[in-house]
Homo-oligomer: A and B are copies of this chain.
Amino acid sequence: MADPKTPEPTRRSERSRQAILTAAVELVGEVGYARLSVEAIAARAGVGKQTIYRWWPSKGAVVLDAFVELSGGSQPVALPDTGNLKADLREVLRATVKELTDPRFELPSRALTAESQMDPALSQQFVEAVLRPHLKALQERLRSAQRAGQVAKGVDLDVAVELFVGPLFHRWLLRTAPLTSAYADTVADLAIAALRPTARAGAPR
């Protein structure tokens, strides 16, 4: 009578769930995402394939869950707000660089970003679960700066956020050049300059 697509989550085996996510993380690290197979995850986790297919729609979804689990769930991201805008943002971008180049995170992150290209649903989840919290926090800091008069009033903060994050992401994803904390500083400074409330707002003269 119940929708066959929605199994009872009450009966779900937590043991299996954990084993699957752990196996997924391990295997992504060992063989990479492309050569990762549901079969291998099931075997490593000591689990029937059906148990995976019952609870996740795709390989990507499993890896996403595993990744979220790994990065400590959806805990709200806290950014420093010392009043010193430049210092705060430099620190944030440096932290971002550190995370993007952390070997534990890099492989699954790239895999999920790649997979997101082909699977909009996964993309949505990925962005919401992993990315959005960071962007939101950054935006919050900028809003605070805007209230303090350090950022021009007319600036769209959605865009502003991407001014900081976009360049880092671009370099990371396309490997056009090494991604260093020096680069993070430069980007932070330039983006802050773009937002400063000179003459007639942030728009160029």
A interface residue numbers (CB < 8 A to B): 32-34, 86, 110-111, 113-118, 120, 123-124, 127, 131-132, 135, 155-156, 158-160, 162-163, 165-171, 173-177, 183, 185-187, 189-196, 198, 201-205
Contacts and interface: CB of A to CB of B under 8 A. Distances in A.
A120 to B, nearest CB: 7
Contacts of A156: 186
A32 B162 CA distance: 28
A149 to B, nearest CB: 13
Nearest to A34: B118
Q: Give how many copies assemble into the complex.
A: 4
* Interface residues of chain A: helix, strand, loop or mixed (majority): helix
A156 B183 CA distance: 10
B175 A167 contact: no
Contacts of A135: 176
B110 A175 contact: no
Contact of A158 (B131, B169, B177): B177
The 10 closest A-B pairs by CB, nearest first: A193-B202, A166-B166, A194-B194, A166-B167, A114-B114, A189-B204, A166-B170, A114-B117, A162-B167, A110-B117
